[in-house]
Amino acid sequence: MYLFDSTLTDSVDLVICSTCGMSEGRCGCGKGEVILSGAERKRISKFLSGMLRHFPEKYGIEIDRNGFASLESVIAILKERYGVGESHLRAIVQFDRKRRFEIVNGKIRARYGHSTDVDVRWSESGRIPERLYHATSPENLKSILSVGLIPVRRREVHMTEKPDEAMEVGFRHSRNPVLLEIDAERVMGSGIEIRKKGRVFTADRIPPEFIRVVEWRRR
């Protein structure tokens, strides 16, 4: 039995201070200024996810084969829509708890979650946990236990190391999600690649024999 205890949130203010630099919530000396409220930060982050993962053409930005857009083009759009600039974008990226975005050499991309045709077959180095978690709505269970986890509308299946983080996702789909444990070691042993992308782990598919339902209740 797994005891669920929710603590994750990205809706804390982002603060800049001449002494302490950039921080989340109050800075060390307390003199910092809020550059983005928690709500603004969340709104912009959701917009970025939508644009970089699903609808770049809607906003006229070009995404390369690896999912990168020029930082300049993204900043221009954020300026127009939200009146914010590069420092705001960098703060959003830096403090994102799920490490959703990555800035490299003047370009930005979403690490995961795509529905568009970008090359998703890359992985950060680092350990792949032996067990991974995914939570879903109860209506999906029968199908998942029969054909496995498939990407549905996205390019990959998404999993997390921590059951709590999977449950956060599950609650977006259902008030009473089903928690699934994936035997990642056996998945990889069967020749299916598992990729690490920030705090998220992805695969092309997870066959049903490596999936088990975990009972849970609130702490």
> Applying CB under 6 A, which residues contact ligand HQG?
49, 98, 100, 113, 136-137, 140, 143-144, 147, 149-150, 152-154, 158, 169, 173, 200
* Strand positions, DSSP E, the chain: 2-4, 14-17, 21-24, 33-36, 69-70, 101-104, 107-110, 131-136, 157-160, 178-183, 195-197, 200-203, 211-214, 216-218
| Cβ closest to ligand HQG, residue 52 vs residue 91 | 52
DSSP 18: T
Residue 73 or 140: the one with the smaller Cβ distance to ligand HQG is: 140
The residue length of the chain stands at 219
Please report how close the Cβ of residue 116 comes to ligand HQG at its closest, in angstroms: 13
Q: Tell me the CA distances in angstroms from 191 to 52, 55, 185, 204, 210, one per residue in order.
A: 30, 32, 10, 11, 13
| Closest distance to ligand HQG from the beta carbon of 1 (Å) | 21
Nearer to ligand HQG, 31 or 205 (CB): 205
Give me the least distance between CB of 200 and ligand HQG, in Å please.
5
| Residue 98: CB minimum distance to ligand HQG, A | 5
Instruction: Give 88 or 136: the residue with its C-beta nearer to ligand HQG.
Output: 136
Of 81 and 97, nearer to ligand HQG (C-beta) is 97
Q: Are strands 21-24 and 14-17 parallel, antiparallel or unpaired?
A: antiparallel
What is the residue type of 72? E
The least CB distance from residue 22 to ligand HQG, in Å, is 21
Q: Closest CB to ligand HQG among 83 and 126? A: 126
Q: How far is the CB of 183 from ligand HQG (least distance, A)?
A: 17
Q: DSSP string covering 93-120, please?
A: HHH-TT--EEEETTEEEESS---SS---
- Residue 155 CB neighbours (<10 A): 19
